[in-house]
Chains A and B, each alone.
Chain A
Amino acid sequence: MSSDTTTLTGSTGREVGVNKVPIWRRRKAAANYIALLPYVFFALFPFYIMGITSIKTDEEINNLGQSPFWATGIATEHYVYLANNTSFFNHWFVNTLIVTVAVTIISVSIGTLAAYALARLRFRGVEVFGVAVFITYLIPQTLLFIPLIDVINTIDEVVPIRDTYWSLILTYPTFLIPFVTWLLMGYFKTIPVEVEECAYLDGCSRLGALIRVVLPMAIPGIMCAILFSITLSWNELLYSLVFIQNETAKTISVGVITELIRGDIYYWGSLMAACFIGALPIIMIYGFFMDYFTSGLTAGAIK
């Protein structure tokens, strides 16, 4: 768009600046943003409290006479404590990262293929299978971890995976694959089948059409699946709590509650510092990829 203002003479003869935003529209935008402020405050407040508490000294945290909402100075002692006295940076963070990346790759690849098959192929029982996948997703983790321990123990007899992040890489997909499959199944169904058929006629095999045409069109859906997969594995608590006792094999979510809470003593400062750093990657990912979610790449494919 050029910045110079073009003027049109409307049927009323009144001159209307095309590039000029009308005043009512500005007011509406302002009202919308003002209305959003309470939600922004509500959503960011916990994050703020985590951040502000993590840079206070212990004296300041425990001083009940002082408002908890702001800090008088910046103290790095809790971050130093995390680095020197715990395995936060050299183990927990790394473990969480490895598990998250591996689990996301596994779940999204398998889920994508499964979702494509369930959305497109017409084999006997395809609908029952689709519903079965969904029901699998509905079974609560709290029910599944007991039999999964048995699975882990059985595998451990052959390959040592107990008490390592491998047990998590193996078990997280049990809830992520059904989730990703279900999510992408709906997405694939919105992709017009004609575009795919056109790819067949243009010379693609089914796999070729999937890779060259369907997947690029499904990017918003796949990004969404990746995002959910990362969030869910990053935050996962139950399986990692149950399967991992070794301190250096822990993930952030377990490490924080087992090593920074001793009995009834809460190490508030380092606890908040760990949570703050632990939450950062998720927030950054959402910040960067939000647009992908909403880009609506399929626009223009069909009328």
Chain B
Amino acid sequence: MAEIQLRDLWKYYDDVAAVRGINLDIEHNEFIALVGPSGCGKTTTLRMIAGLEDITAGDISVGDRIVNEVAPKDRDIAMVFQNYALYPHMSVFQNMSFGLKLRKTAKEEIERRVNLAAEILNIEELLERRPKQLSGGQRQRVAMGRAIVRDPQVFLFDEPLSNLDAKLRVQMRTEIKKIHQRVKTTVVYVTHDQVEAMTLADRIVVMNEGVIEQVGSPEEMYDAPETLFVAAFIGSPSMNFIPCRVEANNGGLSVRLSDDLTFPVPGDRNDRYGSCVGKEMLFGIRPEHITDKRPHTDPTHHDFTSDVIVLEPMGIDTMVFINIGETEITTRSRPRAVSQVGETMDFTIDMAHMHLIDPETEKVL
């Protein structure tokens, strides 16, 4: 049980920087998700915490000691790998007890811990089997069980669910959450799936090209992204971005999205956006904030009409694709309120959830 600190951490592979000076504090018993596209440095960061990769520069501390030079075996860390990495020549019981045996734990204690973990994971009847006799989901459980029995200071997960089929993935996601609630410990969880990160983590770390873009709770990431990258990465379907111009009109501000479409900016943001008047900016809004037309009294809600280009029924909602200016955007409507493709439809936009992004710095204002 420990906190982890990454201080100005760098990793070079030959001349290529995989991780570029990141700083991160992970609290005791916190569930942190490192998320980002392939090659963003998240797995490298995880492997450096585990001790499987050398650190080019910077410090990693676990608990209150710097572990840069500590061998993986002495870091008291357990890791669940994407491909499970079970020992094929050992039974499930032997797989789970291997780490304890190496630490010369008493036999009764090993049995107690393995049985407890097996009970938590619902794999009691599999203990005598070999890995090749198990299904993907069962192997995944064994891999987690192997980590749980060790009762380590830190749990590392390296995309543990990406080898499972969609249904099992959702199921195991819930399992992991339950297990963390039961076995409280610090968890660092790497995934490229932002839904996994959102549902599991206490805090999310979005990485891109070796740097941390933003750290925050799932709600913060979703409602208040700080950069264009985070705004685009978090959320599915992702946020719409429309080139716009900020204009001043009788005391307030408005954004012009196309020749015939402009919406007033909520009054409380006038100061924030005041410096952007006359500039070309990016207007960001999530699909669920442009809906079929609904009665409203809120001053931030505005109506407009547009032609329907494509419909994507999702069951609970239907995604309606429309054009604003030359940009195709996604909106989200109730299925029964949707027009046919090619027809016009009335929409309501909630400007309270708009974001304004400077295209040069790619920062959200």
Chain A: residues with CB nearer than 8 A to chain B? 192, 194-195, 197-205, 208, 212-213, 216-217, 219, 297-303
Q: Which residues of B contact A301 (CB under 8 A)?
A: 83-88, 131-132
Question: Is A201 a contact partner of B72 (Cβ separation < 8 A)?
Answer: yes
Whether B139 pairs with A204 at a CB distance below 8 angstroms is no
Binds A, one of B73-81, B176-184, B218-226, B334-342: B73-81
Determine if A200 and B88 form an interchain contact, defined as CB atoms under 8 angstroms apart. no
A198 to B, closest residue via Cβ = B85
In the bound complex, CA of A301 to CA of B89 (Å): 9
Pairwise interchain contact B89-A217, C-beta atoms closer than 8 A: yes
A205 and B87 within 8 A (CB): no
Nearest CB in chain B to that of A216: its residue: B89
Q: Is B134 an interface residue (CB 8 A)?
A: yes
CB–CB B88/A298 < 8 A? yes
The 4 closest A-B pairs by CB, nearest first: A300-B132, A302-B83, A202-B99, A194-B85
CB distance from B202 to the nearest CB of A (A): 23
Q: How far is the CA of A299 from the CA of B88 in the complex (A)?
A: 7
Which B residues from 82 to 121 make CB contacts under 8 A with A?
A: 82-89, 98-99, 102-103
Q: Are A300 and B77 in contact (CB under 8 A)?
A: no
B85 and A299 within 8 A (CB): no
Given known contacts A200-B72, A201-B50, is B87 in contact with A213 (CB within 8 Å)? yes
Some 12 contacts from A to B, beta carbons below 8 A apart, are A192-B83, A197-B50, A200-B51, A201-B51, A201-B52, A201-B79, A202-B99, A202-B146, A217-B87, A217-B89, A300-B134, A303-B83
User: What B residues does A192 contact at CB under 8 A?
Assistant: 83, 85
Asked whether A303 lies within 8 Å of B139 as measured between CB atoms, the reply is: yes
Q: Is the CB of A194 within 8 A of B132?
A: no
**Distance A198 CA – B73 CA, assembled complex (angstroms):** 10
A204 touches B73 (CB 8 A): yes
Chain A residues with Cβ below 8 Å from B37 are none
Contacts A197-B52, A200-B72; A300 near B102 (Cβ below 8 A): no
B185–chain A nearest beta-carbon distance, Å: 15
Q: List B residues 314-355 near A (Cβ within 8 Å).
A: none
Contact with A along B109-153 (1 / 0, CB 8 A): 000000000000000000000111110100100000010001000
| Closest B residue by C-beta to A209 | B73
B174 at the interface (CB under 8 A from A): no
Q: Which residue, of B71, B88, B133, B150, has the highest number of chain A Cβ atoms within 10 A?
A: B88
Q: How far is the CA of A219 from the CA of B50 in the complex (A)?
A: 28
Extra A-B contacts (10), CB below 8 Å, given A198-B79, A300-B131, A300-B134: A194-B83, A198-B81, A199-B98, A200-B72, A201-B72, A201-B99, A202-B102, A208-B102, A217-B87, A301-B88
Q: Name the interface size band of chain B.
A: 20 to 34
> Which residues of B pack against A, CB within 8 Å?
50-52, 71-73, 75, 77-79, 81-89, 98-99, 102-103, 130-134, 136, 139, 146, 150, 163
- Chain B residues whose CB sits within 8 angstroms of the CB of A195 once the complex forms: 85-88
Q: Check B84 against A302 for contact (C-beta < 8 Å).
A: yes
In the complex the two chains form, what is the Cα distance from A240 to B326 in whole Å?
84
- Measured between alpha carbons, how far is A199 from B99 in the docked complex, in Å? 8
Chain A, residue nearest B150 (CB): A202
Question: Across the interface, do A203 and B103 meet the contact criterion of CB distance under 8 Å?
Answer: yes
What B residues does A212 contact at CB under 8 A? 98
- Whether the pair B85, A203 counts as a contact (CB closer than 8 A) is no
Which of A203, A216, A299, A302 has most B Cβ within 10 Å? A203
* With A301-B86, A303-B139: A197-B81 Cβ-Cβ less than 8 Å: yes
Alpha-carbon distance between A56 and B140 when the two chains are bound, in angstroms: 65
Q: Which residue of A lies closest to B73 (CB)?
A: A203
Chain A residues near B87: list those with CB within 8 A: 195, 198-199, 213, 216-217, 301
Contact A302 B85 (CB under 8 A): yes
Residue contact A201 to B77, C-beta cutoff 8 Å: yes
User: Distance (Å) between the CB of B329 and the closest chain A CB?
Assistant: 38
**In the complex, residue of chain B having the shortest beta-carbon distance to the beta carbon of A196:** B85
Least Cβ–Cβ distance between A52 and chain B, in angstroms: 44
B71 adjacent to A200 (CB under 8 Å): yes
Q: Check B88 against A217 for contact (C-beta < 8 Å).
A: yes
With the chains together, A195 CA to B85 CA distance in Å? 4
User: Which residues does chain A contribute within 8 Å of B139, judged by CB atoms?
Assistant: 300, 303
Give Cα A46–Cα B87 distance, bound, in whole angstroms: 44
Contact at B81–A194, with CB atoms within 8 Å?
A: yes
Look across to chain A and name the residue whose beta carbon is closest to the beta carbon of B47. A197
Measured CA separation A195–B143 after assembly (Å): 11
Residue of A nearest to B132 (CB): A300
State in angstroms the CA–CA spacing of A21 and B131 once bound together.
Answer: 29
The answer to whether B78 and A201 have CB atoms under 8 Å apart is: yes
Question: Residue on B with the closest CB to A197?
Answer: B52
List the B residue with the shortest CB-CB distance to A208.
B102
Q: What residues of B have a CB within 8 angstroms of the CB of A198 in the complex?
A: 79, 81, 85, 87, 146
Contacts of B71 in A (CB 8 A): 200, 205
**Contact in complex: A203, B99 (CB < 8 Å):** yes
Decide if A297 touches B83 in the complex (CB within 8 Å).
no
A213→B89 CA distance, assembly (Å): 8
